[in-house]
Amino acid sequence: MKANVTYWLDRTAELYPNKTAFADAKKSVTFDQMRKQALGIATELTRRNLFKKPVAVFLEKGVDVLVSFMGAAYSVNFYSPIDVDMPASRVNKILEVLEPEVVITTGELQGVFAEYDYNGEFLLFEDVTTSGEIDEAAVELARRKGIDTDLLYVLFTSGSTGIPKGVTINHRAVIDYTDWVTETFQITEEDSFGNQAPFYFDNSILDIYSTIKTGATCYIIPKELFSQPVPLLEYLKDHRINTIFWVPSALIVVAKLRAFKNVDLTDTLKRVLFCGEVMPNKQLNAWRKALPDALYANLYGPTEITDACTYYIVDREFADDEPLPIGIPMANTDILVLNDKNELVTGDEVGELCVRGTSLSMGYYKNPEKTKEAFVQNPLNNAVPELIYRTGDLVKYNEYGEIIYLARKDFQIKHMGHRIELGEIETAVSAIEEITLCCCLYDTKRQKIVLFCDADLSKEYIHEKISKLVPEYMFPNRIVYMETMPINANGKIDRVKLKELL
Amino acid sequence: MREKIIAVVEDTNPEVSKYQGNDMMREGVIDSFEVIDIVTALEDEFDIEIDASLVVADNFRNMDSIVEMMEGILGSCS
């Protein structure tokens, strides 16, 4: 039994010391180098008497960030990455909640961080990792005091009130999730990942920990390649990356610009996994046609349950206008779909997806009110205390017993007496050939369904196209053509910005 | 021709014409979806297909480099 994710790194560093663990555009580390550098950081954190304390990591996205994460984990402290491109106002709000004991950064970036509301200590990455001082005994003493429910990381998500919520995740949840990933997709030291997800976004957990556990190699793909489909696919080919776990928007760009005909990835890509938003079948079908032998899997889940809780391995044909299921629960995870009366749904009744299991976050950092709202007693268990996480996502079961995502609970509206899921309209509209991105909002004041989309189409045309998919009362009343859809920091459509346009 | 290309790009993304630098894509002035929007608009307006291999940072440095790329494509068509 492992109580700390770093035991994996000990093992892989012993088995494959000279194999590349992670590589970015500037440098790479072997498993042995990674372990030693992380122990260097852990030694310094332990020397400063930090144990179970928040450690902020303020570094350019790259190998060093991951070494710092492991340094925090070895010493049983927990990390929280702060993106160097994050607006100062958001950084300050995060610092106010997190109150880090130390910030791991470089001499160069320290000056930038000094501009924020922070008066605490720094740990300069280059000092610790080049001095080579490692006190393994002291670190081991600290690590053995830790248990698997101690925090590993805190990732901040946007809260509706404007104060970011710090989602806390412990070692056990990541161990449980990573075991599922590596067993389900049979990840071994022969595999290699192409990382897209920013490290402040929990999709990266899959890339990071699958690599550390199995001894695979993970290439951190330079961000600018995601706007350049041919160089992007060439990068995959050159580095022999066989597994990618990307947000759908990154996959959409490749499909939209028809980049497959420039680069043949037939013998390169083995697994195409995605998570983070709805993957339209229209674009997925383009991928499947170009690379029919690859495995495609749709993962679903909010940060609060450690990256993902359900999955669907694509095993049948889908029409462009059909929704892709989010599938079935992962091992050691239970999904309860509860209706308004807190009962399990029957048939194709719509309900809220709730999660039970080891994967659950320990709660929002220093935010008991928000924690109490989302992490609640399982209404089906009146015998012992047992928490479930209410995702706020509305779903239903299809005829195969697979879960179908419908919409956010807060996107359910009442219009002319009908209960409508805005997401259902979006699914219908996104099947229209000309449209890549769309978003539906409800203008409560004027009682109108407003559709934002990135193609200049008439209302009549859109109505005609979706008439086979949704009833007339769900037709958008107003169409707003957006030359460019606003996208938020996580690469999703920015609903808050669109709301301002109503 | 040049004016028409500029008009289409400007109409799709006003940020491009405002941009004074020399590395619009890498500096994050336009993200991947904005690139697609510009490409699609140009394809529709000129009834051409822009090969994916042309969608690289060098051809999207600024308005001038987009125009240059388009002139290359349109020149070889006629």
- Per the CB < 8 A criterion, the answer to whether A327 and A300 are in contact is yes
- In A, minimum Cα distance to B30 occurs at A227
How far is the alpha carbon of A17 from chain B, nearest alpha carbon, in Å?
35
| A487 touching B (Cβ < 8 Å) | yes
Taking CB atoms and an 8 Å cutoff, what residues of chain B touch A264? none
Say if the Cβ atoms of A262 and B51 lie within 8 Å.
Answer: yes
Report the C-alpha gap between A268 and A280 in whole angstroms: 24
Asked if pLDDT for residue A162 goes beyond 60, the answer is no
| A283 touching B (Cβ < 8 Å) | no
Asked: is B2-77 a CATH 1.10.1200.10 domain? The reply is yes
- Of A99-103, A145-149, A314-318, A498-502, the range with the lowest mean pLDDT is A498-502
How far is the alpha carbon of B4 from chain A, nearest alpha carbon, in Å?
17
Report the C-alpha gap between A130 and A42 in whole angstroms: 14
Asked if pLDDT for residue A158 goes beyond 80, the answer is no
pLDDT band of A88, cuts 50, 70, 90: confident
A362: Cβ contacts below 8 Å, ≥ 6 apart:
A149, A151, A168, A169, A170
Q: Which two tokens stand for residue A93?
A: 């709000």
- Of the two residues A431 and B54, the one the predictor is more confident about is B54
Neighbour tally for A338: CB within 10 Å: 18
Query: pLDDT (tens digit, 9 = 90+) per residue, A299-317?
Result: 999 999 999 999 999 999 9
| A250 touching B (Cβ < 8 Å) | yes
Say if the Cβ atoms of B57 and A436 lie within 8 Å.
Answer: no
- Of the two residues A436 and A145, the one the predictor is more confident about is A145
At A7 the pLDDT is 98
Those of residues 310-339 in A touching chain B at CB distance below 8 A are none
- In A, minimum Cα distance to B32 occurs at A227
Alpha helix stretches (DSSP H) within A226-333 = 229-238, 248-256, 281-290
Taking CB atoms and an 8 Å cutoff, what residues of chain B touch A487? 31, 33
Percent of chain A scored above 70 by pLDDT? 98
Between the two ends of chain B, the Cα-to-Cα distance in Å is 13
A92: Cβ contacts below 8 Å, ≥ 6 apart:
A116, A117
At A204 the pLDDT is 97
Percent of chain A scored above 90 by pLDDT? 80
Asked if pLDDT for residue A159 goes beyond 70, the answer is no
In one-letter notation, the amino acid at residue A415 is: H
- Per the CB < 8 A criterion, the answer to whether A220 and A62 are in contact is yes
Strand partners, A450: A441, A478
Q: What is the 3-state secondary structure (H, E, C) of A383-439?
A: CCCCEEEEEEEEEEECCCCCEEEEEEHHHEEEECCEEEEHHHHHHHHHCCCCCCCEE
Pairs across A and B, CB distance < 8 A: 63
Alpha helix stretches (DSSP H) within B1-78 = 2-12, 14-18, 32-46, 63-77
Distance of CA A309 to the CA centre of its chain: 12
Say if the Cβ atoms of A228 and B56 lie within 8 Å.
Answer: yes
Report the C-alpha gap between A470 and A475 in whole angstroms: 8
How far is the alpha carbon of B32 from chain A, nearest alpha carbon, in Å?
4
Query: pLDDT (tens digit, 9 = 90+) per residue, A270-301?
Result: 999 999 888 999 999 999 999 999 999 999 99
- Of A180-189, A226-235, B28-37, the range with the lowest mean pLDDT is B28-37
Phi and psi at A106, nearest 5°, equal -110, 165
A82: Cβ contacts below 8 Å, ≥ 6 apart:
A56, A57, A58, A91, A94, A103, A200
The ipTM estimated for the assembled molecules is 0.90
Asked if pLDDT for residue A328 goes beyond 70, the answer is yes
In one-letter notation, the amino acid at residue A4 is: N
Asked if pLDDT for residue A215 goes beyond 80, the answer is yes
Q: How many CA atoms lie within 13 A of A458 on its CB side?
A: 3
Domains of chain A: 1-156 (3.40.50.980), 332-406 (2.30.38.10), 416-500 (3.30.300.30)
User: Which DSSP category does A327 fall into?
Assistant: B
Asked if pLDDT for residue A490 goes beyond 70, the answer is no
State whether residue A65 is helix, strand or coil: helix
At A460 the pLDDT is 87
pLDDT band of A214, cuts 50, 70, 90: very high
Asked if pLDDT for residue B77 goes beyond 70, the answer is no
Q: What is the DSSP string of B33-44?
A: HHHHHHHHHHHH
Q: What is the mean pLDDT of chain A?
A: 93
Report the C-alpha gap between A277 and A449 in whole angstroms: 22
pLDDT band of A473, cuts 50, 70, 90: confident
Asked if pLDDT for residue A480 goes beyond 80, the answer is yes
At A36 the pLDDT is 96
How far is the alpha carbon of B78 from chain A, nearest alpha carbon, in Å?
23
| B37 touching A (Cβ < 8 Å) | yes
Query: pLDDT (tens digit, 9 = 90+) per residue, A109-132?
Result: 999 999 999 999 999 999 998 876
